[in-house]
């Protein structure tokens, strides 16, 4: 089981996340591309940091929403979504190439990520962008109780799929993460986060927000490193997964 983290989300003089502290413990870096966070210098420094630690590079494109951190719905036509994903991925890939690296996958951010999971038109628009990219890119997307539609869409576009689960988020009965607006949507207890990570890695059932068992297929676990407590949790997850190996 690999660990991934949304990273490089500072912007100008505004700092977010503890990237240098969390990078040694992850396998995949989802790097912001400037639309919800990040800027050319932040992107360059994050790519350098990831390469120094042998971390796989991924693009983290979003709706153009700096003020809302990419978490607000923006009405975009499919062609607009394809173009904005190509734009962001192209910018980050050029920076990656300049540092001797190359992008391996794309994980949409925030509202774009959630909308992609609910709307096949948006999903296909994102996949179209990946299929038009000059290099081979996988899609990282949320695993659910039924991944067949997602897998079929990726197969139709010739895109490899990385199924992602969340160690610190609560799930509903359909296998979707509970919206942050609902109480209990985010786990804060390190013991609960580590135990959920272990269960997901073993493909054992976790419990939904209403207490029902849920088994999810996953290739990568999303972890967060935006405060000292979350970095400590990432370290504990890494140690627990190493003990399972």
Confidence of residue 224 (pLDDT cuts 50, 70, 90): confident
Q: For residues 113 and 106, what is the distance between their CA atoms, to the nearest angstrom?
A: 11
This prediction has a pTM of: 0.95
Give the tens place of pLDDT for each residue, 8-21.
999 999 999 999 99
DSSP state of 56: E
Q: For residues 5 and 7, what is the distance between their CA atoms, to the nearest angstrom?
A: 6
Query: Whats the size of the chain, residue-wise?
Result: 245
Q: For residues 182 and 178, what is the distance between their CA atoms, to the nearest angstrom?
A: 7
Give the tens place of pLDDT for each residue, 78-118.
999 999 999 999 999 999 999 999 999 999 999 999 999 99
Q: What share of the chain is helix, strand, coil (3-state, %, to 5)?
A: 40, 20, 40
Q: In the chain, what are the domains? A: 2-165+218-224 (3.20.20.370)
> Residue 184 corresponds to which tokens in the numbers above?
């209990």
Of the candidates 222, 229, 242, 241, which has an alpha carbon nearest to the alpha carbon of residue 60? 222
């Amino acid at each position: 089981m690999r660990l991934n983290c949304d990273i490089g989300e500072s912007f100008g003089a505004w700092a977010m996340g503890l990237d240098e502290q969390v990078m040694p413990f992850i396998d995949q870096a989802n790097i912001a591309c400037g639309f919800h966070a990040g800027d050319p210098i932040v992107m360059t420094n994050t790519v350098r940091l990831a390469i120094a630690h042998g971390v796989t590079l991924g693009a983290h494109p979003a709706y153009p929403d700096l003020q809302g951190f990419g978490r607000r719905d923006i009405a975009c036509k499919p062609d607009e979504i394809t173009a904005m994903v190509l734009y962001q991925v192209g910018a980050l890939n050029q920076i990656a190439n300049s540092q001797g690296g190359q992008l391996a996958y794309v994980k949409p951010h925030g509202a774009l990520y959630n909308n992609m999971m609910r709307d096949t038109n948006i999903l296909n628009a994102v996949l179209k962008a990946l299929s038009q990219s000059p290099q081979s890119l996988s899609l990282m997307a949320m695993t659910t109780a039924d991944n067949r539609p997602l897998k079929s869409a990726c197969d139709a576009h010739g895109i490899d799929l990385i199924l992602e689960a969340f160690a610190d988020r609560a799930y509903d009965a359909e296998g979707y993460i509970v919206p942050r607006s609902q109480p209990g949507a985010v786990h804060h207890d390190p013991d609960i986060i580590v135990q959920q990570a272990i269960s997901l890695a073993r493909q054992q059932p976790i419990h939904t927000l209403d207490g029902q068992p849920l088994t999810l297929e996953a290739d990568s676990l999303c972890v967060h490193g935006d405060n000292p407590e979350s970095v400590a949790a990432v370290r504990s997850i890494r140690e627990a997964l190493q003990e399972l190996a």
